[in-house]
Structure 1
Amino acid sequence: MAAGEELAVRRRLLSSMLLVAVIAVLLLGVPLSVLVARMTNDEAAEELRAEATRLLVGVEYALSRQQAIGADHLAKNYPDRYIQVFFRGHPPVVVGTPPPEGRELVEEARSENGYIRISRDSAQVEREVQTRLVLIIALAVVALGVAVWLATVTSRRLSLPLQELTKIAERLGSGDARPSRHRSGIPEVDLVAEVLDRSALRISDLLAREREFATDASHQLRTPLTGLTMRLEEIVASADRPEVVREEGEAAIVQVERLTAVIDELLAAARRQRHAQAEPIEIDEIVQQQIIEWEPTFRRAQRSLVLTGDRGLRALGTPGGLSQVLATLLENSLKHGAGTLRIHTMSNERSVVIEVSDEGPGIPDNLGQKIFERNVSGAGGTGLGLTLARALVAADGGRLELVRRRPATFAVFLRHVHDLEKERHRVVSGPA
């Protein structure tokens, strides 16, 4: 949010809150002022009425005792009052100065023998009303001042979190998916912030997956491309032998098909769909395919490939995934191992096992099981091959383990085919 936009938001919030405050003050202040003026006038009239009544009682009592009405006494006890006393058989008594015409406030008290009229200048009452109205206006001004302060604080408190939310949204739009974790204490704004933080985490996870997929794809495609390059080199070197050219051409086609399968596997892994694609596969076909592909490379390195163990095994997996795993193990042995490479297949009660071992120096002690961690390599490699291989096996419901360090022996554990039949039976029959 730009500075101008922020000021505009604050200005709108401030003006709205001030308008509400002014309306509230007017709705309360105007009726209160009218009520105070009326109450002040009523109090003045009630005071005069009480004075007239009290004076009437005193005069009747004095006359009953044959006492004269003292004008000086009345003037002393009732200053600022104009008093007129009228009783039968007695002369009228007038005390004080009459108030100006149009400003008199008059009250009377009557009895059987006469009456008393008392009046005062209403200007005094008006001044008292004005004093009270000034107090009300002062309180209203103070209330408006407090409202301005509260409006300023509240507008700032609301605009700053909105500005923070805008920054988070801008960061998300620019690809920076870091969550803010900042909370303002306003439940509604914090709820939006939490939603944005969750969105940031999801976007960050998606971006990380995209980066990993790009890295994994570049690494996984390198192996079949290398194999395809070697096959083409064999074709070029054997151009004078048609049977070799045909054999190598067919092997190159297999490499291309494998490259296509690897791309499909990577895409499926990125979409998290490989576990649902696991199906019964023939172990012998996949192992033989890898031996055919890698045997010329090992032969040039003066190394041999040996296949031992049980034949005719079937397990749950994906052909492309298992081929890629075995290719990774063979490539690692070619780079870091030595001597004869043995592929041993067997079956036990829990799994179908494919062991790959050689006669090299093995895995360094400082690596151990860390060899499967991402970006961990013992000989200057990328540190991705075994990580991706373990992920591919795990996606098929199996696992890849280092069962022996020296000589290095890796084992691929795959599920039996009857495990799938048991799962389907549980799904059909449902819970007991």
Structure 2
Amino acid sequence: MRRRLLRSTLAIALVAVVVLGLPLGVVGTALLHQRADMRLERRADTVALRVARAESAGTPLTTALVADLLPKDQAVRVTMDHRRITLGTLPTGAVTSVTSGDGGPLRATLVAPAAVRGDDVGSVWAAIAGLAVLALGAAVALATVQSRRLAAPLEELSRRVERVGEPSYDDRPVAGNVPEIDRVQVALNDADGRLADLIRREREFTANASHQLRTPLTGLRMRIEEIRALAQAPAMTVEADAALTQVDRLVTTIEHLETAARHRDDEPGRIDVGSLIAEHVETGRWRSRFDDAGRDLLVLADGRTDGRADPETVRQVLDVLLQNALQHGSGRVRVRTSSEGGFVRLRVADDGRLEGPHAAVIFARGVGAGSGIGLTVARELARRDGGDLLLVGTAPTTFEALFPAGRPV
């Protein structure tokens, strides 16, 4: 910002110097030329008067008569009674001539080098150039002071903006003595207060929701364990075990989302994404759900797929993509994992087509027939682990989740 202020102020000063200095120099040059012409004209008048007196007295008209009035490089042409006499030495090169303004029968034309009209012009332009340099120097000095006065509080304000919503945010006024900056500081303080209150309420809601959900889940687990203990048929035991697995999975999901919301997660460990996905498809009963819907679910893995990701993040992203394919897609669903370009890629594709505006805003909240947050949450979870979730094809519909690759565990 300081450089921009300096450059802009210097440009304005330069324009002002050019706009004012050039006309001043032109006018000064014209005045010097006019003064030189008047000086030559007065000398021509003096020469004409002296020649007229000499002619009346019968004195011979020689150069010595006007030698004190003519420098070596100047001459005078005297015209009288149809006679023309040249006194002095005519200059060579460019010349200027001035005729006496006597108006009588005798006229004296002074011939001098053209340079005599510009003897002082260089001094005028040198003075203007010196004043221009002084003006530009003063402008730079003032711009430096002004830029420091404006930039320092703005730079401090920008640093504080980066900490809005954090405990280290400094709400003290910026010492800038600039009303506009002070008003921005007040607005930032208000925004920080609102953000702090919003974060507090969201964290309280997250903690309350987690606590309130754990209590009924604990009771549900106890009831299912009692049902399993009272089960007499093997099929009932199997179903009870499956229900317990889903309850445990729901508790794990709640804890994982709570950790993600509070940003208390550690660096993800190394996992075999392909093996985890193949296992989750079976334990999460996804294959049976697709079988019940009369659709095929194909799971493939291209070589080793070791990556850095939280296992629960991978499971939840896969759940969202499979639920989306089951609810909104059609035909066979293909789940393929591969390692390429520094990422483990989880690709889920079905035979459906994604058309209309949903293709452009598919990850925005509220889009879709359901709650409209599944894909949004899945993308946020993937990005929290250093990956991403992308829509890579619309015909057929294909989503790809990326997780950072890692060495084999």
TM-score range, shorter chain: 0.3 to 0.5
TM-score (norm 1): 0.44
| Structure having the higher Rg | 1
